[in-house]
Structure 1
Amino acid sequence: MLQLCKVTNALFISNARSACSDELIQQEAVTLCINVSKLQPFPASAVSTMRVPVYDDPKEDLFSHFDRCADAIQGEAERGGRSVVYCKNGRSRSATICVAYLMKHRRLSLNDALQKVKTSRHVINPNPGFMSQLERYQRVLRGRRREAK
């Protein structure tokens, strides 16, 4: 079954097959596609695109892309747009990026963000390397918030 799973009003998560369905992209009014893979295609629809070229490997560095992706999703939402984040299976890489977004811009804890994404897409399961990068991101975000006070 093809579907884009709604995480927030402006954010969806899915697998590559669903994200490349022009019908779904138009139906959900998606304006930005973030492709968290090296090999998966983009939809044919005229939408903004962003590629995060990583494999689903615990050794891959997804951490260095967290801020850029989270800010792109937030910027799109502020302009009234909607984003879909996807990888091949919509399980590990895309989930990690969605969790990072929720932690940064919705100020959720790692556990709460993970739960929110899992509620919209039950199969998510960031690999152990990505989980430890999210834990590190949580510490970084807490540090930034302390400094901002």
Structure 2
Amino acid sequence: MKSKLPILQKHGITHVICIRQNIEANFIKPNFQQLFRYLVLDIADNPIENIIRFFPMQLSLFSGKVLVHGNAGISRSAALVIAYIMETFGVKYRDAFTYVQERRFCINPNAGFVHQLQEYEAIYLAKLTIQMMSPRQLERSLSVTAGSLKRTHEEDEEIGNLPAAAQNG
């Protein structure tokens, strides 16, 4: 990446996410810490790796142009970029995958990452739905799902204030 500095500057890159596993730490590392903000993620390219924990990116940390940099740019970095596209633009996995693949043809997230991306689709869509609901809709939705209560708390207080004979029926 050292030889790519002029290209990074030309494109206005401000942040770099380095994705690596432990054995790659010597060559995938922050090289220009005085020029860019770095985030280093230790993620193995393994189908059983829990990559979903990295998906809800702290977008507030990145208020510029971000380069996602890995060893080959095929599996791990592609999975993170796909998750970012899904959440940021509210699109489904297949659409985000196609969008990223049209820009980098060689992407191929491993099967475990694909499965986690598909699981993440339901998670972020549910979050998006809740964010779009008005407080009144959200309250109504929560009261419907709280169907295990036999009576409301207000009703419970009213019953508690009745004389003992009336409570027993």
Instruction: Report the TM range for the smaller structure's normalisation.
Output: 0.7 to 0.9
Corresponding residue number in structure 1 for 2:53: 64
Q: Distance in 1 between matches of 2:14 and 2:3?
A: 13
Q: Distance in 2 between matches of 1:108 and 1:143?
A: 12
Deviations 1:94-136 (A, max 9, x none): 1001100111111111111000100110000000010011011
Mapping of residues 1-149 of structure 1, within 5 Å: 17=1, 21-38=4-21, 39=25, 40-44=28-32, 46-68=35-57, 71=59, 76=62, 79=63, 81-148=64-131, 149=133
Q: Which amino acid aligns with 2:53?
A: S
Q: Distance in 2 between matches of 1:20 and 1:93?
A: 23
Per the normalisation by structure 1, the TM-score is 0.77
Report the CA distance between 1:21 and its aligned residue. Answer: 1.8
The alignment yields a C-alpha RMSD, in angstroms, of: 1.8
Q: Distance in 1 between matches of 2:80 and 2:126?
A: 20
Q: Which amino acid aligns with 1:94?
A: S
Query: Structure 1 unaligned runs (5+)?
Result: 1-16
Q: How many residues align?
A: 126
Per the normalisation by structure 2, the TM-score is 0.69
Corresponding residue number in structure 1 for 2:147: none
- The answer (yes or no) to whether the contact 1:31–1:82 under 8 Å persists in 2 is yes
Q: Which amino acid aligns with 1:41?
A: K
Report the CA distance between 1:20 and its aligned residue. Answer: 6.5
- The answer (yes or no) to whether the contact 1:36–1:51 under 8 Å persists in 2 is yes
Q: Distance in 2 between matches of 1:134 and 1:20?
A: 33
> What stretches of structure 1 move > 3 A for 4+ residues in a row?
none
Q: Distance in 2 between matches of 1:120 and 1:42?
A: 25
Q: Percent identity?
A: 24
Corresponding residue number in structure 1 for 2:159: none
Deviations 1:39-85 (A, max 9, x none): 2222326100001111111111111011125x25xx53xx4x20011
Question: Greater relative contact order (Cα 8 A, min sep 6): structure 1 or 2?
Answer: 1
Corresponding residue number in structure 2 for 1:11: none
Q: Distance in 1 between matches of 2:79 and 2:31?
A: 21
- The answer (yes or no) to whether the contact 2:20–2:71 under 8 Å persists in 1 is yes
- The answer (yes or no) to whether the contact 1:21–1:43 under 8 Å persists in 2 is no
Query: Structure 2 unaligned runs (5+)?
Result: 134-169
CA pair 103-20 structure 1, distance change in 2 beyond 3 A: farther
